[in-house]
């Protein structure tokens, strides 16, 4: 679900801003997009209400990224027993003019799959950002 719609309280808004800043610190040319999904009925059917989705767009196609846009989806699980909510994984996908070019998931083995892949340097930075994202959303409440 669009990050702009998920920022329903100060803590979530602050965590979303932290994720944007983590990404922009490593990749200052990226422009953040807190509403990467269209607001139409077809798209709404596909959107996961248990995720926070943030897009990033670059000024052009980068050889090191092998994409022009990035979608970060932070996946959550709501425990029905103790009513706690925690981040259980991060999906990062790179898109070019043909559609999805590659995908990185923290759910299994943290590897990049797809028709093309970002450089090893970019891949390592993305994995570090994913670790930081999980820390941000899973830190103990004060």
pLDDT in tens, 39-64: 656 655 666 678 899 999 998 777 78
> What domain range includes position 81?
3-137
- Model confidence pLDDT, tens digit, residues 1-14: 667 677 778 888 89
| In-domain check, residue 142 | no
Which stretches of the chain are assigned E, i.e. beta strand?
31-33, 51-62, 67-78, 85-96, 99-105, 112-114
| In-domain check, residue 47 | yes
Confidence of residue 36 (pLDDT cuts 50, 70, 90): confident
Domains: count for the chain: 1
Angle between helices 10-26 and 120-138 (to 10 degrees): 160
* CB-CB neighbours of 64 under 10 Å: 12
Angle ∠(81,87,93) on CA atoms, nearest 5: 140
Q: Is 100 exposed, middle or buried (0-12, 13-18, 19+ CB in 10 A)?
A: middle
Which pair of structure tokens corresponds to residue 117? 């892949």
Residue 38 has pLDDT above 70, yes or no: no
33 close to 56: Cβ distance less than 8 angstroms = yes
Cα separation, 109 vs 115, whole angstroms: 18
């Amino acid at each position: 679900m669009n990050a702009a719609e998920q920022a329903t309280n100060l803590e979530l808004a602050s965590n979303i801003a932290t994720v944007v800043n983590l990404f922009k610190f490593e990749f200052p040319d990226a422009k953040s997009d807190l509403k990467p999904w269209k607001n139409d009925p077809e798209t709404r059917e596909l959107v996961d209400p248990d995720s926070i989705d943030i897009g990033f767009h670059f000024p052009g196609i980068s050889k090191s990224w092998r994409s022009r846009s990035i979608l970060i989806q932070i996946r959550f699980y709501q425990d029905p027993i103790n009513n706690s909510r925690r981040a259980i994984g991060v999906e990062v996908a790179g898109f070019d003019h043909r559609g999805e070019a590659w995908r990185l998931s923290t759910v299994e083995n943290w590897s990049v799959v797809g028709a093309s892949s970002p450089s090893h340097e970019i891949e390592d930075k993305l994995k570090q950002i994913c670790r930081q994202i999980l820390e941000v959303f899973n830190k103990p409440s004060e």
